[in-house]
Structure 1
Amino acid sequence: MGFDPAKANAYLQQARQIEQTLSEHQELFDEGKFLDFQSVTTTLETEIQRAQQEARKLSIGIVGAMKAGKSSFLNACIFGGKDVLPKAGTPMTAALTRIRYSETPQATVHFYERKDWEKIEDNAQKYEEQLNTKYSNYCKIYDRSHADSTEGVCSKQVFERTLFQQDVSEVLKSAKELTQMVGSNSAILEHLGDADVLDGDIMAKLQDYVGARGRFTPIVNYVELEVNLPELEDLEIVDTPGLNDPIVSRSYATRQFLRACDVVILLSPCSQFMDANTVGLMANGLPDNGVRKVIVVGSKLDSGLLNEPKGSFAVASQHALNSYKGQFRNTMQQAMRNNPRRAGIMEKISESDLLFVSSTCSSMARKQKQHQPLSPAENLVLQNLHSNFPDFDETLLSSIGGINKVLKTLEAVRQQKAEIIHGKNNTLLETAQINHLRALDKIQQELSSSRTTLKNSTSEQLLQRTEAIQQVMESSRGKLMYIFDGAAIGCKNKVNQLLPQLTLEQQNHQRLDVQTSSEEHHGVEGTGLFGLIKEHYSYTVTNNRVDVSEVVTNLEHHASTCQNTINQEFQYVFNREQLSHRIVEVVLDAFRKSDMEFDEDDIRLPLQNVLNELSSPEIRFDYTTYIDKVESQFPSGYAENDDIHKLKSLQTRLLNEIDQDMGQQLTAALQMAANMLNKQAVTFADRIQELLCGELEKLQGQIQERETYLAAYQQFDKTIQQMKKQLAQTDSSH
């Protein structure tokens, strides 16, 4: 059987009724679990609506870290080389954009519905309530465990930033952020529920809607861009702003839209192919369900190839591709080990679907075929390829571009459209059913634990257990601080080790090839009385010339090499797995030495959740400003004779500036990492203590009405069982 709308809507109604029941018992379990259940229902509702659309389009999501080259890739691959989307750094990169076909190009900016904004404001209020409650509990626990200390509790602002935001639901955090962005500009809320249609100079007008400082940015849900490209008639492209978007609300919205995508193209720059950032996107950003296929694309292949040693292009190209594939295999193996619960999405990513592209080289190949001039940036890439690889042939540009392979892959996907959509529609209920049951099971586990503890404990015992946990964490505090402090010191020491390497690296990027040419000049000169005697003479003029592109190449390679060296070294500043293992063992050892009975899993889970937030620093260095300085001083593209000395002096000065600026970034990045570790050193024990004692604090408040709450837990547990049975009996097969 195919998709059954009646059955789907009946199940949706059933889920909404369960939601209502759950909302009436919020005081008995963690609200984050309720939001998890609600999110599944909301996604299902959207998917049911899409499944009922006639001639539904195949939805393809473009995913990657910010500045992974998504817009350039789309322009080269989907839009036939036309600059339909502006490249990174423009306002469009700040918004999620759905791209569709239309004979009349325009953009439609969709604002949140008023009911959506009311929910956002409600969740922002819940954020504040949870913050106030948890800060109050933190202060109580801190006062009891630090009775003899002269240090006071941290401020509410510090607690929110270092402890609370790590544990609060992303839904609540996003809502709080959006309401803060509106601030005093509440007049824009009058536009809720509206949709503004833009035409003419669309990109310029969009700045006010999706720019970082756009007036309407906080209330924009998404943008629909309609373009006159018949190739898109049966497709919908979802261009995401980047899953590592620093604005939480946009990143959350992106993940919600991705749930509706059938196919996802994951871009990872070749210069950092399948790095920790990309692993994080796969492990945490991509939805488990809904997406039927994931295609990994290594972008900016030209930059990756230029990082290879000079010599044979064929050798460098083969070595680079083998290296990327090896990184892919290692990354996937590591990701599966670290995130076994995410195996579903990982299994949809295959090495056979690996593609490598260079949007720049694709554009160059197309322009050469059409006898169009290359841009300055494209000329620079071409010169660098010739300079690095003597055997490079410009007929290889199309191959490096890789767009034809992508188009063949997309065509194969397009041919599978009916199968993909049919398969997705047929698993809608099954997917929602599984996720709903998981959410209910987590609630039931919490209810069982709370009921057992409340039933078997007196107020004094709860207080004693709370104090015992506090004592255990206090006993491990010194060792934890030592571990974190040691890692922080390692960050600071690394600066002194890396800075001299940047200066030494300059020596590899200073050579300039001076081209010498000679020119013979001949003439006749009159001598003697009245110059009547004619003498013939000749002389040779020697010209020295240096192509400015060599300086640009040196600057680019120096900056790129230093950036890669630094980011590779950052991975060893502190070994995250090793650090996490040491911390877990310290805490568990402290619990083992105490007289308290405990379940290791109850300790490991909150520990691991906090430790998962640790990450090594990373820098992104923009060297285009230095190139601009060269090109502005030598607009002709070359330096001759006496000007060569000026060009060499400029190169030396700019290399020193790169070292200085990159050194500042290095120092700042490592200082940021050290600060993060220093904060963890003084707050980690408190944070784990708050997580472990939070449930006990809740039960302490219920102990005076023990029988009432025991009956409530028991009755609600039965209700959850009935809910699970009700959902499990739903026939989701087709």
Structure 2
Amino acid sequence: MALEQIQRLKSYLLADDEMLALVYVCDETLLPQFCQTQVIRDFFAKFFDDTPSIQDLRAIKDSITPALTQPLYAKLIGHFSTLCEAQVITKAHFHHLLLSIHAHKVDSNAQENVQSTYRDLTHINALMAELYQSLQDACTQDSQTQALHRIWRNVKEQKFSIGVTGVLSAGKSTFLNALLGEEILGSSTIPETANLTVLQYDQKQYAKVHFWNLAEWEEILVDSQTDEGLRRFVQQTKHAFGEDLQSYITTEGESKHIELSELSTYTSANHTSKLCNLIKKVELFTPLKFLQGGVNIVDTPGLDDPITKREEITKEYIKDCDLLIHLMNASCAATQVDVDFILETLLERNISRLLVVLTRADLITSSELHQSLEYTKQSLQNAILKISQSLDSHAILSRIIFLPISSYNALLARTQPQDAPMPIEQTGILAIEEYLDTMLLGENSLKARDIAYLCLKSFATIAQDIAHDLSLESKILHASKEELEEFIALERAQEQSLREQAARISQAIMDKHTELEGTLKVLNDFITMSLQTSQDRLKERVSQNIAYAAKHKHTTTKEDLDELFSIALKDIFTDITREYKYKLNTKITHLIQEVHTELQEACVSIELAHTPPSFSFYAKDEQIAHFVHTLSSEVFALKNSSALASKLDSVFSQTFSQFSQLIFAKSQHTKEAFLEFFGGISEAIAQDFQSQITHKEQALYKALQQFEHSNNQETKDALARKLDSIAQIKARITQAYKELE
């Protein structure tokens, strides 16, 4: 291609991001398909005599990539994501595009352009600081000043949280050590880290351990009555500490600073001290560059943690994470806990950034790794279809990025390069860091731009409030007596309108509250019916198995029954609760959308900061072990009875009654949390309306005071200057918006 032709194409495509995205994704496979569409044919006809070759398109892309600005890059990512969700390109193709563009920008003579992009956001950050100072000087009320300080504090203190999850022994500690480039967290071939650990930046290295408080420990004791694994945990703890236990578990909960060299004593499940049993979480501070800029990493003890209370604390932490990295052992594929967690993350928490890392990838062949990945995807797809035929499983799966890693070899390559069995490029750690850097971290990441956007949006709201107050003052200062009375009447009418709006919207929210109560009752009925159906099916299956064995003179052992009931009860628990969660979250999403619609129709711009509470159901082996034991023991004792069928009714009814309590206890907790959630929304809206009414009253009062005491030309001129200043501030905010876009 001629240089002149490339330059013409470059200018055209840099101004048309949608077409540019299509050019970027076009490869040998897609070119014939794209050539069938009218929009592509028109584009090719405009610049080419014939259909361009792949080499021509590559030359165009190579020319354009160094010129990409960060805003355009962000738009391209959005288009790539849309094409991926529409299954035009694969997820692998999507990730390859991100890495190849980023690598080209860094490796070529694009360094100047990268620095220009860096300056773009640096300029925005500097502008936000100037706007903050200008708005402080312009504020007309204390409430505006307080809101401004709160916004700026949130910007300056903005945290970026990475949650690392996985079942026990998924290799989280080794992975994190490799990512951090230093062996800080203990790791071994058996479960090592027994506590929630939050890694944060500090110039000194130390840790802070937090013990259970008395209320939390008593909750563990209550749960241990129906949980065999938890019961053993409590017995082990009491045996290890005896009467000294009360010195560790206090009413308020003790915290202790320790050296990193002492960390394993408090966190290792394998340490003889068993202090890890008394710790609910650990804060680890270290001067690693990766944690600078407000980044923290939440290292979880494992989704299948036998300590239910610790699991709940873990979920509260990861609920607010900006990114979740879920680890799975590549050789073991996806466990049921893995599948449940991934679906919960994607369907219920609406998290779009989920990185699934397949650990210990070096221990299996490329073919086995591919099979493991496909098995995981198929398991997720089957689970999605089981929930609802209407869900687009391909679109949901497209929101996950899968990357393999050999964490141990990556750690060796970082800490002992001379002894490392493979170069760091082959371990997979660089691809993961590339993903983090490109998408989420760094000065020009999407995350950083999101923060700037929200800050500017909040600044714009405050500037508008100030402009309204100043305009009101100006109108009153220049008003005649008759005009003044009209202004006052108008303001009073607006206040009354706000009160009426508040009453209408509050009633609408309470109607949603009532509707949710009805839905929760229906869902409880669904649980009851599903449990009864499952009970009847399982009872019939057991009867048939025993009858078949007797007919063919086979012996039904207790071990056979243990296995049958263990699998069946876990499946029943999983199927019922998964459908319950999906139905409830669908309803919650619908209700929240209706709330937003109510606000929009009323022309009310209230930002609902509330997010629905997260809830989860996990059936651990230990949690249902005693139900399995009860059923198998009683059925085994009755297997030769002539009245087996009738006696099974009683056995199953009693056991399922207790088994259902596990589900209904969670259901009741969920009901209370969601009703409180909608009550909180109603209260927040009422407070926001009252705040607006109070603001208007104060603005009017101040303007009238100004009219009575300072009705002179000097005051009018000063007010005119303020109005001009706030108009300039609003214009600068608008310009900053355009730069971000």
| Structure-2-length-normalised TM-score | 0.48
Determine which structure has the larger helix proportion and give its number: 2
| Structure-1-length-normalised TM-score | 0.48
